[in-house]
A and B are shown apart, each in its own frame.
Chain A
Amino acid sequence: MRQADSANEAGLIARILAGEKELFHDLIRPYERMVYLTLISIVKNETEAEDGAQEAVISAYRHLASFRGEAKFSTWLTSIAINEGRKRLRKTKGAAEESIEEQEEEHEGDFTPAPLTDWSEIPLEALERKELREALRVAVTELPDIYRQVFVLRDLQEQNIEETAQALGINPGAVKVRLHRARMMLQKRLVRFLKTTAPARRGFFGGAL
């Protein structure tokens, strides 16, 4: 995620609160992608996610004075987006549905990766292919809620373990466990996809990340 410079950001916030309200457009711009992705990771519907993203941003604008700067602005905004998403989820699924907060890790289940030896020979072009992106989108969407939300915050929005824990209201240990499982489930899903399309050639991502 493109992080705004935090000193600059604090200055912007002070000016907005002092009356230069239009500057809120600039404050939110680096985060509008993040807000949408947070919403879609919860509600899984584009229209609902966009409406929710707008609501979350408006809510952040209205309540900006309550942002005290203890958390990072991005974490504060993510929490608002998560709450908006959960509110919408409850509305669509009805009150009977178990809330996300109460979901726990499954203790049963296979979270081991899929072993194969030819992945390292997947060329860069394969990663450039649209079909692979589509497969990844589908696989992420189909992750169980608690795993998808951690994965999206951590690996898509590149927030750290602490920020992810804070935003979701869970402890850092749970973030690590869920993240690991999410990654392994995706690896397993996508390996199958890649295996059938991999031409034999030496890899590109051998070492550095």
Chain B
Amino acid sequence: MKLDCKHVWEHISEYIDGSVDAKLRKDIELHLEHCEICSAILDSTRNILILTADDRTFELPVGYSKRLHERLREEIEKSKHEPPVGETK
């Protein structure tokens, strides 16, 4: 089946995730071969995902880990005088 661009866009997210069936995948790939617009959309979306998964894009506040473990240390210390973990409310 020959797909139009709009049809490709509707499935672009699933296509990236590899969750379209073999037939649709083939149709999409055929379309991409000769459609620059859809190829650009696919590339741009993939690039956004690469950038999103990059640790430098979404950074943690400075000192977050240190403060978290400090708080946890206090909590663990406190709980040593209590019944085993999980039985406290």
Contacts and interface: CB of A to CB of B under 8 A. Distances in A.
Do A and B come together as binding partners? yes
Interface of A: 16-19, 21-22, 24-25, 28, 32-33, 36-37, 46, 50, 53-54, 57-58, 61-66, 112-120, 122, 127, 132-133, 136-137, 140, 151, 155-156, 158, 161, 176, 179-180, 183-184, 186-187, 190-191, 194, 203, 205-206, 209
B88 to A, nearest CB: 6
Given A61-B75, A136-B52, A183-B49, 12 more contacts: A24-B85, A32-B68, A58-B72, A61-B72, A61-B79, A62-B89, A64-B85, A64-B86, A119-B44, A180-B12, A183-B16, A186-B48
B86 A206 contact: no
Nearest to A189: B48
A137 B57 contact: yes
B41 A132 contact: no
B87 interface: yes
The interface size bin for chain B is 35 or more
Contacts, number: 156
B40 A50 contact: no
Nearest to B18: A209
A203 B9 contact: no
A176 B84 CA distance: 41
- 8 shortest A-B CB distances, which residue pairs? A65-B86, A180-B13, A119-B44, A119-B40, A113-B41, A115-B37, A133-B57, A120-B43
A135 B38 CA distance: 23
B53 to A, nearest CB: 6
